[in-house]
Amino acid sequence: MAEDYAIYRLYIDGVPFEFHSPDSATKTYADLCDVVAKAHSDRKARHFSFSTSSHPTKGRSIDVLVTASTRVMLDAPLGW
């Protein structure tokens, strides 16, 4: 039951984006890590788009510019 209300935060350069679905959070994190790895390897900037349950307008995506210095972290609830 606690998982129904759990919030998963994806931090991109310290900015938190909230997810209420563990599947959505982990997929977005994995996809973003792939883009970050490519940006780190060839030092080229890339665009990455995703949506979260915390976005003020449902159905709209968030666009992020990923560079070689971009850092990401996924913060999941304990026991996840």
Tens of pLDDT, residue by residue over 8-41, are 899 999 999 888 888 888 999 999 999 999 999 9
The total of structural domains in the chain comes to 1
Residue 38 lies in a domain: yes
pTM summary value: 0.80
> Closest Cα partner for 52 from 75, 73, 21?
21
Residue 35 lies in a domain: yes
- Of 2-6, 39-43, 48-52, the poorest mean pLDDT is in 2-6
Residue 12 lies in a domain: yes
Cβ–Cβ under 8 Å, residues 35 and 48 = yes
Which is it for strands 8-12 and 15-19: parallel, antiparallel or unpaired?
antiparallel
Residue 44 lies in a domain: yes
Residue 22 lies in a domain: yes
What is the span of the domain harbouring residue 36? 2-75
Residue 80 lies in a domain: no
